[in-house]
Amino acid sequence: MHSIEFAEPWLLLLLLLAPVVFGLSYLSRGRVVYSSLNLLPAHSASWRTRLAWLPDALLALAVVGFVVAAAGPRRGEENAKIRREGIAILCAIDISGSMMALDLSPPKKEQTRLDAVKEAFEKFVLGGANLGGRPDDAIGLVSFARYADTRSPLTLDHANLIAAARQLQIVSDREEDGTAIGAGLALGVERLRTFKAKSKVLVLLTDGVQNFDEISIDAAIDEARDGKVKVYTIGAGTNGMAAVRVPTGDGGSQLMQTQVQIDEQTLTEIADKTGGKYFRVTDNASLKSVYAQIDALERTAIEDTRFANYEQLFAAVLVTALLLLVVGLLLRATLFRRVP
């Protein structure tokens, strides 16, 4: 009963008419007047006499039913959700060989840069680690090394999106290795340009320097600006030397130091020219912090709209009231008929 409410609760004031109806009905004409009660035969009261008030009570209850039905009883759906006009977010993630570096590992756990990014991306989408998730946003995924590939189109099916993200692997073919930032940027912008959304955001993460120029970064920036795509860029990892675990010939592995470098100037330029922001991450904590900042920057809470669905209950109450009225009138005209 706690979930039942009334569309017009003020009409419930008319319930005060129920005792008035009962009183008027009970005191209505229908009694024989005697000059003296001594003229009546002596006998005990019959069941009809004892229940003479019953038709009047049924009529009063019918009035209660009519009033409650008029007030519009209804029950709100327990699964009513808040729906908001979401935004389109596409993440372009570098999967080149340098993403094997371990400098983004969380404490007491060895993790490649790519695995750390995949974990942060999952929490960004589904929620967790102080992130609320993006249930109302269409999110897509692009990966790039020497070439760019679409891993998931923009979708609200986040379960399949995360499944695609978990399958990301660092390129193993030397012919496909490299860092084509322009290719990743261009493909992400292309996917967003044709998608209908009020706001379009591209998050591009890389740990390297553009070393394949088949697609111009400047041309991709122009496409982003024309398509009103805001680009957040993330430079992931340390500059200089970083540890990488490589296999040994005997089936084991060992840590080696490798030279890494991030083109922060280019990433800053991409963000500045598209209205976004450049972020620098050097450890696991700062990586999670960047996703939290982007999550906070790209929220549309002011556009929340609640759609409430109700189950209308007045019909059952109205039918019950009509039955009470009919039964009361029938009893009044038959078993409990009053002689005028």
H helices then E strands: how many in the chain?
A: 10, 13
- pTM for the whole thing? 0.64
Q: Any idea which fold 83-304 has?
A: Rossmann fold (3.40.50)
Stretch 270-277: mean pLDDT? 96
**Of the listed ranges 147-151, 256-260, 317-321, the one predicted with least confidence:** 256-260
Say which residue, 129 or 136, is predicted with more confidence: 136
Q: 187-199, pLDDT tens digit by residue? A: 999 999 988 888 8
Q: 16-32, pLDDT tens digit by residue? A: 988 888 888 877 755 55
What residues does each domain of the chain span? Answer: 4-29+48-76+308-333, 83-304
* DSSP track, 111-177: --HHHHHHHHHHHHHH-BTTB---TTSEEEEEEESSSEEEEEEEES-HHHHHHHHHT------TTT-
Q: What is the pLDDT of residue 40?
A: 54
Q: What is the pLDDT of residue 164?
A: 96
Quote the percentage of the chain above a pLDDT of 90: 44
Q: How confident is the model at residue 247 (pLDDT cuts 50, 70, 90)?
A: confident
